[in-house]
Structure 1
Amino acid sequence: MEKYLINLKRKAPSSPPSSSQKVLVNLVVFAHQLQLVVVAVAKKHFDVGDFFDMISLLLNVVGASCKRKDAFRENHKKTIEKEVNDGERKTGKGLNQDVSVQRPGMTRWGSHYRTLLRVVECFSSIVEVLKCVQNDGADDSKRRQAYGLLSYVDSFDFVFYLQVMVHLLGVTNSLSLALQNRDQDILNAMSLVASTKRELQKFRDDGWNSLMIKVSSFSKKHGIEKLDMKEDFLDTKRRRKKTGVTNEHHYKVNCLYAILDLQLQEFNDRFNEVNTELLICAASLSPIDSFSQFDHSKLMRLSTFYPSDFSQGECISLDQQLDIYIDNLRNDERFTHLEDLGELARTLVETRKHLSFPLVYRLLKLILILPVATATVERSFSAMKIVKTDRRNRIGDEFLNDCLICFIEKDVFEKVTNEAVMKRFQDMKDRRVLL
């Protein structure tokens, strides 16, 4: 695994971690756990936690048997036919396929969002299955479960938190997908983070009315009773105690604002001023528009984030090397139309300029291995569980490394034919038998 991990696991300094090293740790955790963080932070709000618990129970009841799954598909088919006849749904190639309700997984990024979207899409079919279980369940416990779920999904709370979480997970989904890309550009990632934070803040400031329109539309479509926002809020767990607030205040301030404040705080903690400075400095290496973002002072500041990689003397040399580097590359046509840092590094090596500017190239490598997207690394570690099984528990490091290279770089090895492998093996030395 040296090929894959040597650039991703820096040697820990003997001194306590600096603020820049903490930044890198935060970036790794953020990229790897973004979708999990969104759900986990939201669950700190007790009502949202109850909502996801009920969603989990709902999926278990609906998908508990093949009979219920078939009933779900049949009801969904009837719903689609009705909507097509009423002109509410379009028809065409690839549309209106059979669907199933996917259970969310804590290790599957974006699965919570897809699950909630499917619940919205197939809500009528889910309710019909619950009614069947309530009336014809095999035992009393199953019927009670279905009865409780029907009472919950027919409530304003369910519709409200469903729409809130669909919107919240939808806003963060684009960032989640981008961070899973195999070669995500760190500059694009930072731009997406900033956009996501702005959208969350915008939803907090001006999203209440649009949210209530969605809640009212969903409730009207499925015959769920709506609440009068001007009436006093009634806490179902303490019915005798007056809350002293209206329904609008409770759901807007105690629920929506509380959830969004938790999310915004999490984003701000992970991408504070120090993080932003690191990434802004990294942007100065960008080759776009003939290195228009190049900034000598910011690149020198960037080198201070890596004290173990740049000595004091090397920092002085880097200061002198940067001006020659930018003048040389701006006057070389081979560097005119580069789009990202990966292309810049590749072209430097192809033109052997990385030998002329070793310190700049070292700084570029450090930025490239800054693990904003850790999906590739995580998949490499996951591959160990597949390659190193119980029967291979004594596999050596060298053999494990070779196996992992073959497993991880599938796209490369698929181009290698069996004949080429056998010929290479045969040419290594004389064989008694011709392969």
Structure 2
Amino acid sequence: MNCPLIRHESKDPNSPHKITVKCCEDLKNYSRHIDELIEKQTSKELKNNRLRLKTSIECARWLAFQACAFRGHDESLDSKNRGNFIELIKFTSTFNDKVASVVLENTLGNAKYTSPTIQKEILHILASNVRNAICEEIGDAKFCILVDEAWDESKKEQMAIILRFVDKEGFIKEFFFHVVLSHYNLHIENIRGQGYDGASNMRGKWNGLQALFLKDCPYAYYVHCIAHRLQLALVTASREVKDVHQFFDHLVNIINIVVGSSKHNDELQHAQAEQVENMIASNEIETGRGANQWYFATSWRTRWGSHFQSICSLIKMFDVTCKVINTISEEGANYKQHGNVEGAYQVLTSFEFILILHLMKEIMRITNVLFQALQQHSQDLLNAMHLVSTTKSIIQKLRDDGWEPLLDSVISFCEQHEIDISDMNTRYTKGQGRYRRQDEDLTMEHHFRIGIFTVAIDFQLQELKSRFCELTTELVILSSALNPKNAFRLFKIVDICNLVKKYYPQDFTVHEQELLKSQL
């Protein structure tokens, strides 16, 4: 076939009417050459973009796995530390020339794949893949949901969702998850347990999350973390009594005054060293490696164990604490500081403060054994339930027979430290300053014994009975029969049959329940 000719006229200074004739085949070759150049350029840019994105993904995975922060305070080009994410990309590029040629400042255009939006999108995709894998593994099996809340570094409340289930091989697994279950085809009717923190919006009996789940699934029994429940029960109960609540406020204030600055803390340590030397010289205490190393523990609002440590520290270091507070009062920078410290000293050396100090030590000494047992990683639930019952009995015994021994120890402590002892037969005086008035019906003994001692212990017992209810306790005891530790040492056929019959009857047909005992 003859190739048609293309006539092209162009104006040229030298030849205004120059005519060029080209073959159409030449034009096709020229066009194909342009397409190859564009395709080659596009393929190279695509390859570079994939390498950039892969680098960002791997860096994000590493930081997420190590629970490291991504962003930096200053991510500008002049910053010496641009944050973990960008710095990790820079570090990776030092070992790979191909990566170095395409990341950060070597990127052509805006496709750097390092922006905060890209980082969040990568994390979101990774999290979705993990959650999908968990859902596939759970399938249609029964599972439990555990929820806890905590503050992050920015003081924002963050929620952690954990799914607990038994896999196909029979092993118990726990995975972090997401709060929306229906989105991942996890059915609420398959929940067989709930565990949350002490927040009312989680554990609330009527409108809490556990109550909402129970409406749709009656077998989603709520079992609170036993150790956390004990702490909340005791802290809450102690603050129900006005005088005890004020005691803890005064305790925190005294500790903050004494160890609130490095100067005051140094004075405390120096005074303590002098006291220890005097006691060793008079053979009041023994010497040895690690002995006599007393310190003030910080008292946290919801941590019962920290309160116990603070109280023990204050009793051991009472003299040196008074000495340091007196020194601070004399050297007060202003009237306000002087007044605050002087007020703390008056509270510290009052008979009521000393009595509550020893009372709370006795209560905490009893509950601390249970608290330490519940904090162990390897937990024997059956033993834990027995410890709860034993703790209730010992606290009840303290209520019935503990007043006289407590009063004797308080009086002895006051005599040792030259503190005025209240006359138990005088009338109790309410209020402060000009609002003080005597109550003709109450003596000081009645106020201390009934108003503080008995009421504080009764609130402890009430909270323990309320939080460790019979249903939860029985459920935990029966479930312990399934514990595989020590070759199923706690295995009991009767407990397993009762667990099925009383707590999960709809999970088994009548025929299966009849055969269960012989199968076990």
TM-score range (shorter-chain normalised) is 0.5 to 0.7
Check if 1:62 corresponds to 2:258.
Answer: yes
Check if 1:6 corresponds to 2:164.
Answer: yes
Shift of 1:111: 0.9
Q: Name the SS for the 2:474 alignment partner.
A: helix
Shift of 1:290: 9.5
2:249 equivalent in structure 1:
53
The answer (yes or no) to whether the contact 1:296–1:323 under 8 Å persists in 2 is: no
Structure 2: distance between partners of 1:305 and 1:105? 40
2:291 pairs with one of 95, 102, 109: 95
Unaligned runs of 5+ in 2: 1-129, 138-161, 166-173, 176-185, 190-212
Shift of 1:263: 0.9
Structure 2: distance between partners of 1:133 and 1:59? 13
1:251 pairs with one of 448, 456, 461: 448
1:166-181 → structure 2 map (5 Å cutoff): 166-181=361-376
The answer (yes or no) to whether the contact 1:230–1:247 under 8 Å persists in 2 is: yes
Q: Point out the more displaced range, 315-324 or 251-260.
A: 315-324
Per-residue CA deviations over 1:181-206 (Å, capped at 9, x if unaligned) read 11211101101101111111111111
Shift of 1:49: 1.0
Per-residue CA deviations over 1:299-338 (Å, capped at 9, x if unaligned) read 2221245538x6232x63354243343xxxxxxxxxxxxx
Shift of 1:88: 1.3
1:317 equivalent in structure 2:
512
Shift of 1:234: 2.1
Per-residue CA deviations over 1:224-261 (Å, capped at 9, x if unaligned) read 11112222222243533424122211111111111111
Structure 1: distance between partners of 2:225 and 2:377? 17
Q: Name the SS for the 1:43 alignment partner.
A: helix
1:95-244 → structure 2 map (5 Å cutoff): 95-97=291-293, 99-106=294-301, 108=303, 110-237=305-432, 238-244=435-441
Structure 1: distance between partners of 2:501 and 2:516? 16
Specify which structure has the bigger relative contact order, considering alpha-carbon pairs within 8 angstroms and separated by 6 or more residues: 1
The answer (yes or no) to whether the contact 2:300–2:307 under 8 Å persists in 1 is: yes
2:500 pairs with one of 303, 316, 320: 303
Aligned length: 319
The answer (yes or no) to whether the contact 2:233–2:464 under 8 Å persists in 1 is: no
Check if 1:260 corresponds to 2:457.
Answer: yes
Shift in CA distance, 126/12, structure 1 to aligned 2, threshold 3 Å: farther
Shift of 1:29: 4.6
- Hey, which of these two has a bigger chunk of strand by percent? 2
Structure 2: distance between partners of 1:163 and 1:90? 24
Structure 1: distance between partners of 2:386 and 2:379? 12
1:333 equivalent in structure 2:
none
Q: Name the SS for the 2:437 alignment partner.
A: coil
Structure 1: distance between partners of 2:395 and 2:302? 24
2:227 equivalent in structure 1:
31
2:196 equivalent in structure 1:
none
2:236 equivalent in structure 1:
40
Structure 2: distance between partners of 1:212 and 1:17? 53
Shift in CA distance, 317/112, structure 1 to aligned 2, threshold 3 Å: same
Per-residue CA deviations over 1:112-133 (Å, capped at 9, x if unaligned) read 1111111111111110111001
Shift of 1:293: 7.0
Structure 2: distance between partners of 1:141 and 1:292? 64
Q: Name the SS for the 2:378 alignment partner.
A: coil
Structure 2: distance between partners of 1:209 and 1:221? 18
Q: Point out the more displaced range, 143-152 or 82-91.
A: 82-91
Per-residue CA deviations over 1:36-67 (Å, capped at 9, x if unaligned) read 33122211111111111111111111112211
Shift in CA distance, 254/187, structure 1 to aligned 2, threshold 3 Å: same
Structure 1: distance between partners of 2:459 and 2:301? 20
Structure 2: distance between partners of 1:11 and 1:60? 50
2:471 pairs with one of 237, 258, 274: 274
Instruction: Name the TM-score, length of structure 1 as normaliser.
Output: 0.66
Structure 2: distance between partners of 1:242 and 1:200? 30
The answer (yes or no) to whether the contact 2:381–2:476 under 8 Å persists in 1 is: yes
Shift of 1:160: 0.8
Unaligned runs of 5+ in 1: 326-435
Shift in CA distance, 290/181, structure 1 to aligned 2, threshold 3 Å: closer
Q: Name the SS for the 1:110 alignment partner.
A: helix
Shift of 1:292: 8.8
1:76 equivalent in structure 2:
272
Shift of 1:157: 0.9
The answer (yes or no) to whether the contact 2:276–2:292 under 8 Å persists in 1 is: yes
2:35 equivalent in structure 1:
none
Shift of 1:148: 0.2
2:387 counterpart letter in structure 1 = L
The answer (yes or no) to whether the contact 2:427–2:438 under 8 Å persists in 1 is: no
Shift in CA distance, 59/186, structure 1 to aligned 2, threshold 3 Å: same
The answer (yes or no) to whether the contact 1:234–1:243 under 8 Å persists in 2 is: no
- Hey, which of these two has a bigger chunk of helix by percent? 1
2:357 counterpart letter in structure 1 = L
Which of structures 1 and 2 has the bigger CA Rg? Answer: 2
The answer (yes or no) to whether the contact 2:238–2:245 under 8 Å persists in 1 is: yes
Structure 2: distance between partners of 1:292 and 1:176? 24
Q: Name the SS for the 1:6 alignment partner.
A: strand
Q: Name the SS for the 2:343 alignment partner.
A: helix
The answer (yes or no) to whether the contact 2:229–2:467 under 8 Å persists in 1 is: no
